[in-house]
């Protein structure tokens, strides 16, 4: 679909593996403010393509928390669980131009970084069950500029000669789904946590193979606990208290090095209006600068 080059479309794309916590609020808030500051559209996409990792009811809780924090999105939420046909079309397109191969490596015989051991792509038909991988030519290098992290250069072909786009268990891989959906939703800038920076080269390579536009990227620092581990449900990050939305938003703004809105602003919506007007990624640190005490 042709896009108006001047219109900004951003998105927040949570996986429903648990409720929102302060770390995920920071990513949601950064993408919201970046979009609203430019007068753009802000979409929410629920990345529910990995049922074994998901928590029942988490999608609903995430959406409720976003609303409670005044982070109101545009249009309907896109659920990746409804997008199988689009992912199959993309896999067909990759297969037709000869970029896919079946791989039946097990964890025990995989190569470095989870790559294929190297023999599967020569054996033709795999013995089921097998994953589908995209082959990356050895000379492939991906360069891009990140608004916060600066110039990035990845020797993708040397570092990761292939990567999975459909898993052995038949589930679509995050790398494939995110590229297909960012294109379909017309996303012009991806604002997300810096833990996903290393996925970006794979996504740009897939965009190139599929003829998709490459959006701009802004990877904001992720919150970590006292030991440098990402603040996450696995590391006992407490769920956001939706009744303390203004305090949560103020903490997230502090972490993103944004000016604090006046203390008289006492609703999430009023606070967000002020934060939207003053939004600037200029002073944002590239890596974590706020350690929280380790829990449990």
Q: Is 15 in the site for ligand GLU (CB under 6 A)?
A: yes
Among 8, 10, 13, 165, binds ligand GLU (CB under 6 A): 13
Stretch that binds ligand GLU, among 13-21, 60-68, 108-116, 141-149 (CB under 6 A): 13-21
> Which of residues 162 and 189 has its CB atom nearest to ligand GLU in the complex?
189
The number of CA neighbours under 13 Å toward the Cβ of 10 is 25
Q: Is 25 in the site for ligand GLU (CB under 6 A)?
A: no
Stretch that binds ligand GLU, among 8-16, 115-123, 161-169, 228-236 (CB under 6 A): 8-16
Shortest distance, position 273 Cβ to ligand GLU, whole Å = 25
Distance of alpha carbon 155 from alpha carbon 39, whole angstroms:
36
Q: Alpha carbon of 121 to those of 2, 134, 135, 138, 156: distances in Å? A: 36, 10, 8, 14, 18
Stretch that binds ligand GLU, among 11-19, 99-107, 112-120, 270-278 (CB under 6 A): 11-19
Residues within window 127-186 making contact with ligand GLU, judged by CB under 6 A: 178
The token pair that represents 6 in the structure block: 């001047």
Q: Is 196 in the site for ligand GLU (CB under 6 A)?
A: yes
> Which of residues 62 and 134 has its CB atom nearest to ligand GLU in the complex?
62
Looking up tokens 């802004």 gives 218
Q: Is 221 in the site for ligand GLU (CB under 6 A)?
A: no
Among 14, 70, 215, 221, binds ligand GLU (CB under 6 A): 14
Q: Is 23 in the site for ligand GLU (CB under 6 A)?
A: no
> Which of residues 15 and 102 has its CB atom nearest to ligand GLU in the complex?
15
Distance of alpha carbon 97 from alpha carbon 208, whole angstroms:
12
Distance of alpha carbon 213 from alpha carbon 194, whole angstroms:
21
> Which of residues 142 and 271 has its CB atom nearest to ligand GLU in the complex?
142
Long-range CB pairs of 167-172 (<8 Å, 24+ gap) are 167/131, 168/104, 168/129, 168/130, 168/131, 169/129, 170/129, 171/49, 171/50, 171/51, 172/49, 172/80, 172/84, 172/87
251 with 268: CB under 8 angstroms?
no
Q: Which residues bind ligand GLU (CB under 6 A)?
A: 13-15, 47, 178, 192, 196
């Amino acid at each position: 679909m042709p896009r108006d080059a001047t219109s900004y479309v951003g998105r927040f794309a949570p996986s429903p593996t648990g409720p929102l916590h302060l770390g995920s609020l920071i990513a949601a808030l950064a993408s919201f403010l970046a979009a609203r500051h430019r007068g753009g559209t802000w979409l929410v996409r629920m990345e529910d393509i990995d049922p074994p990792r998901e928590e029942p009811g988490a999608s609903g809780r995430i959406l409720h928390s976003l609303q409670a924090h005044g982070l109101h999105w545009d249009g309907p939420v896109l659920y990746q669980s409804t997008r199988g046909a689009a992912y199959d079309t993309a896999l067909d397109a990759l297969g037709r131009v000869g970029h896919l191969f079946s791989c039946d490596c097990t964890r025990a015989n995989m190569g470095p970084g989870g790559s294929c051991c190297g023999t599967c792509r020569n054996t033709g038909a795999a013995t089921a069950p097998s994953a589908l991988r995209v082959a990356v030519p050895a000379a492939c290098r991906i360069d891009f500029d990140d608004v916060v992290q600066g110039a990035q250069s990845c020797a993708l072909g040397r570092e990761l000669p292939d990567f999975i786009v459909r898993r052995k268990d038949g589930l679509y891989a995050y790398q494939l789904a995110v590229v297909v959906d960012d294109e379909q939703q017309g996303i012009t800038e991806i604002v997300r946590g810096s833990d996903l920076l290393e996925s970006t080269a794979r996504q740009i390579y897939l965009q190139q193979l599929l003829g998709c536009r490459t959006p701009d990227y802004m990877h904001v620092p992720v919150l970590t606990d006292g030991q440098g581990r990402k603040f996450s449900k696995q590391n006992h990050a407490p769920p956001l208290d939706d009744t303390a939305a203004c305090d949560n938003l103020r903490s997230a703004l502090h972490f993103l090095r944004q000016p604090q809105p006046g203390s008289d602003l006492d609703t999430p919506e009023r606070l967000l209006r002020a934060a939207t007007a003053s939004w600037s990624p200029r002073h944002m640190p590239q890596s974590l600068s706020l350690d929280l005490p380790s829990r449990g």
